[in-house]
Amino acid sequence: MDFKLSEEQLLIKEAARDFAKNELLPGVIERDEKQEFPKEQVKKMAELGFLGMMTSPEYGGSGMDTISYVMVMEEISKIDASCSVIVSVNNSLVCWGLENYGTEEQKKKYLTRLASGEIIGAFCLSEPEAGSDATSQKTTAIEKDGHYIINGTKNWITNGGTADVYLVIAQTHPEKKHKGINAFILEKGMPGFEIGPKEQKLGIRGSDTHSLIFNDVKVPKENRIGEDGFGFKFAMKTLAGGRIGIAAQALGIASGAYELAKEYSKVRKSFGTEICNHQAIAFKLADMHTQIEAARHLVIKAAWDKDNGHDYDLSGAMAKLYASQVAMDTAIEAVQIHGGNGYVKEYHVERLMRDAKITQIYEGTSEIQKIVISRGLLAE
């Protein structure tokens, strides 16, 4: 068993850490306050190759492994989880899905531009009445004269307003239930494709979340991903990898909050000494660090499973379930250690606490992860 990172993995981790400190930290509070999309920062992440990290260089990506990807996700999330969710969706859901299941034409036309970060993508599964219950898709895609006609609404779509390419899951044969679902590539600007208002969110406020409305959107047949009826499997396979990215995001939020709390406890004084000298605080730091290390091992194990061709449905779900709980718990404790200052924006931990919550909800709630884990265990 080797816990050592390779030279390349260490270098990329360091590059991400420097980038987050120098380019994301300035302005992160203002972007959160104004719900401002990090347009310039996304451009820089594209230049660093962070938007198509695992995509092959043949299609404009960086050709790195999943371990490098989770390192980058952790470092970015320590500072700005609004930026890391953009990285996660583009990498895990959009680029990975297209590279693994798209046709050569689809890869040439879309993946190359997505992986290089020239454009960004969105993954559209959730609906007003189909979040956790993903098989109950109400959006329809009816085949007609060599095209599909798409009608329906998608909800809570990350990159909803800023993406150029959208992977949309829709029902083609309702009588076949999940076996009748398909996935399609849609482009912004297709007639009948409308972007709904931006959601006003508790956390990850810099990320751009919208509902999408499709009114008779005509999509060429060659934009369907995979065989007829492959859409639900496509969504499940893609989300399984996405959960590793979100687990890494949660890990980053937890580490960011912990590091801030530790530093603060070394300078803030009470009862004549730095507060880290009180066991009440020191023990909190001990718990936080131990839990973060445990989460890190789960995240890296899931990434390693993916890189080594092992099944990662379970390890990814366990990593997300645990890391998102650790993110929430650690961020709450970090606010507590900061006392009154923890409740104030300039100390950053209140934002991390708000950002942490979504990691227990998106790409499968914690309850869904428990379904995936328990079903997997019982099927063994």
Whats the size of the chain, residue-wise?
Answer: 380
Q: Please list every residue from 122 through 161 that binds ligand COS, using CB under 6 A.
A: 125-126, 131-132, 134-135
Pair type for strands 165-171 and 209-220: unpaired
Cβ-based nearer residue to ligand COS, 240 or 352 = 240
363 near ligand COS, judged by CB under 6 A: yes
Cβ-based nearer residue to ligand COS, 63 or 376 = 376
- What is the x/- site pattern for ligand COS, positions 208-247, by CB under 6 A? ------------------------xx--xx-xx-------
Cβ-based nearer residue to ligand COS, 68 or 92 = 92
Residue the block writes with tokens 């990850």: 204
Q: Please list every residue from 301 through 340 that binds ligand COS, using CB under 6 A.
A: 313
96 near ligand COS, judged by CB under 6 A: no
Least Cβ distance, residue 222 to ligand COS (angstroms): 24
Pair type for strands 224-225 and 181-187: antiparallel
Least Cβ distance, residue 236 to ligand COS (angstroms): 3
Residues forming beta bridges with residue 123, ordered by sequence position: 167
59 near ligand COS, judged by CB under 6 A: no
Q: Which of 23, 127, 350, 363 is catalytic?
A: 363
153-168: burial string, b at 16+ Cβ within 10 Å, e else: bbbbbbbbbbbbbbbb
Using CA atoms, how far apart are residues 121 and 135, in angstroms rounded to an integer? 22
Least Cβ distance, residue 104 to ligand COS (angstroms): 23
DSSP, res 20: I
Are the beta carbons of 73 and 13 closer than 8 angstroms?
no
Cβ-based nearer residue to ligand COS, 111 or 125 = 125
Cβ-based nearer residue to ligand COS, 292 or 372 = 372
Are the beta carbons of 120 and 127 closer than 8 angstroms?
no
- 45: amino acid identity, one letter: M
Using CA atoms, how far apart are residues 220 and 185, in angstroms rounded to an integer? 9
258 near ligand COS, judged by CB under 6 A: no
101 near ligand COS, judged by CB under 6 A: no
Least Cβ distance, residue 319 to ligand COS (angstroms): 14
Least Cβ distance, residue 368 to ligand COS (angstroms): 4
- What is the x/- site pattern for ligand COS, positions 3-32, by CB under 6 A? ------------------------------
- 36: amino acid identity, one letter: E
Of 111, 11, 90, 109, the C-alpha closest to 45 is 90
HSE of 87 in the Cβ direction (CA atoms, 13 Å)? Answer: 35
Are the beta carbons of 247 and 356 closer than 8 angstroms?
no
Using CA atoms, how far apart are residues 277 and 346, in angstroms rounded to an integer? 24
Cβ-based nearer residue to ligand COS, 131 or 196 = 131
178 near ligand COS, judged by CB under 6 A: yes
Least Cβ distance, residue 160 to ligand COS (angstroms): 12
Locate 281 and state its tokens: 């605080």
Cβ-based nearer residue to ligand COS, 258 or 312 = 312
Least Cβ distance, residue 244 to ligand COS (angstroms): 12
Using CA atoms, how far apart are residues 334 and 318, in angstroms rounded to an integer? 24
| 222 contact partners, CB below 8 Å, separation of at least 6 | 103, 105, 106
Distance between first and last Cα of the chain: 24
Number of residues that bind ligand COS (CB under 6 A): 20
Least Cβ distance, residue 232 to ligand COS (angstroms): 5
- What is the x/- site pattern for ligand COS, positions 264-293, by CB under 6 A? ------------------------------
346 is catalytic: no
What is each CA distance from 165 to 88, 109, 157, 258, 267, in whole angstroms? 15, 11, 12, 36, 48
368 near ligand COS, judged by CB under 6 A: yes
| 34 contact partners, CB below 8 Å, separation of at least 6 | none
Cβ-based nearer residue to ligand COS, 314 or 349 = 314
Locate 270 and state its tokens: 């009470």
Which residue numbers are catalytic? 363
Give me the residues that bind ligand COS (CB under 6 A), please.
125-126, 131-132, 134-135, 178, 232-233, 236-237, 239-240, 313, 362-364, 368, 371-372
